[in-house]
Chain A
């Protein structure tokens, strides 16, 4: 009865579609401890695997004696490289076109490298057995400094590549050289520098850090010898790719491999690649016929499975004396560790680092990246980042501040003078990208107004005077950053992983009663896909989000997709969802026309169904149409109401944002306190503002951690230092600043719903904002660039060096 008088607003509201702060449906189970994670899985007869790891950073293995371990009651097997060799699985291909030892093959290349895999009845026996495996080493000279990697007398780290003068990305110029990647017009850029009024040059390092999801990497592999089928439950951000890789490596047909990614406790790029643990668990289950579980501990996670960053960026800007940039020249020394296990699209050895011109209208630019091997853990993953975009944003945002300082210009003012203007979009960058849309000037000015920027600068001036007079030992920094991201990998014309184009997919099926099951090729690790994907469908199809079930992660049921990382889910999967929904809508329109006995062209969409133009009383809701699809479809039209879409995006999306940070630093201790942090994000159309805010809070917290303390450090002997949460800085609620969030909305013109993605923006923009605040605080004392991480002792040291 109420149905008759329900208002349009009520009809719209009950959908909980796009723009609604819908509560996260997955939180019902997460907040009650009822999530279903890999380590919750216990299969009958399940065995446990664990690794013997290298104690050295670089050594030859003279002997491995596992006899005592094998004799320990409860030990089922001890695998070494020699056991994997007959299967051809002692090395595996990396996503970056290199190879990586699954188990050390006569040599260890980094501390904690996998040497042997012990399989036992339980975790305790497995670890007891590890203590009994004897490994005899012959130590080799260690290389940890990437700046020494290409020295003529540098130790040769990869004798397996000896004589290989061409790698996956072109010529190698040294035994520790992986690739050189260049983009841009070198001659024109050099010319711009020759003519410049002002230039700056700085080596800006972005230290090695780790994504450190709270749930470490893990899997349970289970082989059914009768059926010849392999099931792998794992913490996979890209389960379909894992299945393809597993099939290619194991030779088990892809349809006989079932990969399931259940609930995942954070990924941040750490769970994209394939690791030795997965391979060894799979081999072990095939050999034993029993399920095998492998779960990393915290130290293993931080010290072995994919690090991030470790980019050393020599950056130069040319400009006119009134602050107009005229050229950018960047050389990156990229430390990839012992194997190039970077998780970038195959043709992009340095990811999308050529977004390094940022938000600014550089007429010319040139970029060269040299990748090198060192005795460190392999990786180079996109830690809450779209393939080296964090590094690029840090590089350009620090460099712009350095230029502002040299010109005596306010850093916000310098940015305003150089932004790509709104009327320049779609904008062709000097390094080859086509920015889809943006309104940088508006965002920057809104941010400055929100924080009272001019007053903050006036306060800073007063406090600097007070510091000079010796009245305070505290200095104040104002950090400004303005980032442009490039996300949504990606168009098949330039993005693939191991030859699979980087599309993504959605399959939507409406049941007769009008509820929906929908499955995607993406995989949430905490992003809230079960909530937001339903909101897109709700708006597109007029079915309440609560009546829509979202499923991801099971390769048997979900359509093939490349997974969730690099902020690609909303730009790619989100588009696939809208396109699949529109296919259904088109068919629904035909059914509605049949039911209403009008032409489909006489119908118009109205929130949750179709109505006859000019006669709104005559209408059919989607629920009615769904029933008819199964009950009385129009003659000649196949029954049912479902659709699949594989979306190949025409372009990337380019989210952007303006962040401002106010920081106070006690120069006597080096302790920095973030007084205020304001983050304006423009991610195009906003699907769920609450989830966006949550994403921004999480990403800013990571950015804070990276800028102010995170570091995976190696000593000169190749020992990894600080690979535990005692030392690796994961801030608690106590240390974390209060975040102020804001937004503008500039939809993507090429995306079906105009959404650009937001998950990684706060990490990308946050790190330079914090670092700029620190550097701004010290700038009046003569600082040009202080390297991260900005932990207390380093800031104290900076103050000492500046005589503060």
Chain B
């Protein structure tokens, strides 16, 4: 549990960080909260020679509204997200999810950018961001671009980020007031990754589902956007049969691994249970206007 030797860099701007990453190529890794990377380094499963700490870059630590989007800096910590009035009012699912990530000590250090950029299928925010239709802002030697969260994840720890590109912000189109949301996470204990988790964002019109998005955490090599499950619910009034059909459709796209959380059959079944519970809770919130 002792890491190898590395050089620590603490740039003050995104440009400096990008330059450092470009200079050192594959030997360099960006560091944010460090809660995924540092344990990997201590186990010597990762041995970067250069760590580029992004936490000295003030521009990455803000949460702001920009047009119809909420823009969350990549180095915003989970604790900051929880404390943000703007997120509580406009994107309550982010606060609700952050509160289910690990414990307060970790949330003081762990960042939203790190959570979504690392490509760990166990991380909670990627599914939420997919559900919300978020776009990730990436900055690299060739400039700035946006990548939809739905297209970002390629496999375990494999993402659409190019070498030397840094994820600098998350742009989330704010869902309409009165939308329903839920993040249902089954876990063994505080600090654990999900056995199965489901994010739901929906809107109701005249008691029927107008829009719906469903995404799943830790049930495959990447977060899973359950488009077919969600599409089948539009126009429904979320009767038990509708919810069951959506849960079954969501289960069908899962491919969970067996581990200490349970065998694949259990985790797949739990995907359905989490989807059903998330739908019910989201619909209650929408019906209550929150």
Contacts and interface: CB of A to CB of B under 8 A. Distances in A.
Interface of A: 50, 123-124, 126-128, 131, 297-299, 668-671, 709, 713, 721-722, 725-727, 729-732, 734-735, 791-793, 796-797
Contacts of B3: 124
B103 A796 contact: no
Contacts of B266: 670, 793, 796-797
Contacts of B269: 796
B101 to A, nearest CB: 13
Given A131-B44, A709-B188, A732-B190, A793 B262 contact: yes
B4 A128 contact: yes
A287 B179 CA distance: 71
A298 B1 contact: yes
Given A124-B2, A669-B270, A734 B261 contact: no
A352 to B, nearest CB: 32
B1 A297 contact: yes
B192 interface: yes
A124 B5 contact: yes
Contacts of B263: 793
Interface in B263-282: 263, 266-267, 269-270, 273
8 contacts: A50-B2, A124-B3, A127-B4, A127-B44, A297-B1, A669-B273, A709-B188, A796-B270
Given A131-B44, A793-B261, A796-B266, A732 B1 contact: no
Contacts of A671: 186
Given A123-B2, A671-B186, A796-B270, 9 more contacts: A50-B2, A124-B2, A297-B1, A709-B189, A725-B191, A730-B189, A732-B190, A791-B188, A793-B267
B130 to A, nearest CB: 24
A668 B186 contact: no
A793 B190 contact: no
B260 A721 contact: yes
A127 B195 contact: no
Contacts of B191: 725-726, 732
Given A671-B186, A721-B260, A734-B190, A792 B2 contact: no
Contacts of B1: 297-299
A743 to B, nearest CB: 30
A732 B273 contact: no
Nearest to A793: B262
Interface string B101-126: 00100000000000000000000000
Nearest to B47: A131
A705 to B, nearest CB: 10
B103 to A, nearest CB: 7
Contacts of B195: 792-793
Nearest to A713: B260
B262 A792 contact: yes
A474 to B, nearest CB: 14
Contacts of B192: 726
A792 B190 contact: no
A729 B273 contact: no
B189 A734 contact: yes
Given A123-B2, A722-B260, A668 B273 contact: yes
B188 A729 contact: yes
B189 A731 contact: yes
Contacts of A670: 266
A324 to B, nearest CB: 42
Contacts of A722: 260
Contacts of B267: 793
Contacts of A713: 260
Considering residues A297, A299, A709, A726, which has the most beta carbons from chain B within 10 angstroms of its beta carbon?
A726
Contacts of A726: 191-193
Interface string B1-19: 1111100000000000000
B190 A735 contact: yes
Contacts of A735: 189-190
B6 to A, nearest CB: 11
Contact of B2 (A127, A725, A730): A127
A142 B192 CA distance: 31
Interface string B143-171: 00000000000000000000000000000
A644 to B, nearest CB: 44
B94 to A, nearest CB: 21
Nearest to B42: A297
A669 B2 contact: no
Contacts of B262: 792-793, 796
A131 B267 CA distance: 36
Considering residues A668, A669, A796, which has the most beta carbons from chain B within 10 angstroms of its beta carbon?
A669
A669 B260 CA distance: 15
A719 to B, nearest CB: 13
Considering residues B2, B44, B261, which has the most beta carbons from chain A within 10 angstroms of its beta carbon?
B2
Contact of A727 (B5, B44, B190, B260): B260
Nearest to A671: B186
Nearest to A131: B44
Interface in B1-45: 1-5, 44
A297 B260 CA distance: 21
B196 to A, nearest CB: 9
B189 A729 contact: yes
Going nearest first, the 7 A-B pairs with the smallest beta carbon separation are A793-B262, A127-B2, A297-B1, A727-B260, A793-B266, A732-B190, A734-B190
A128 B5 contact: yes
B254 to A, nearest CB: 15
A298 B1 CA distance: 8
Nearest to B270: A669
A730 B191 CA distance: 11
Interface string B74-85: 000000000000
A52 B2 CA distance: 13
A107 to B, nearest CB: 26
B27 to A, nearest CB: 17
A734 B259 CA distance: 23
A69 B36 CA distance: 29
B241 to A, nearest CB: 16
A299 B188 CA distance: 19
Contacts of B270: 669, 796
A131 B44 CA distance: 9
Nearest to B274: A669
Nearest to A728: B260
A218 to B, nearest CB: 13
Considering residues A50, A123, A668, A713, which has the most beta carbons from chain B within 10 angstroms of its beta carbon?
A668
A770 to B, nearest CB: 16
B259 to A, nearest CB: 8
B253 to A, nearest CB: 20
A224 B195 CA distance: 54
Contacts of B5: 124, 128
Contacts of B189: 709, 729-732, 734-735
A524 B261 CA distance: 36
A735 to B, nearest CB: 5
Interface in B183-208: 186, 188-193, 195
Contacts of A50: 2
A732 B1 CA distance: 23
A729 B266 CA distance: 19
A372 B191 CA distance: 37
Contacts of B261: 793
A669 B261 CA distance: 12
Contacts of B4: 124, 127-128, 131
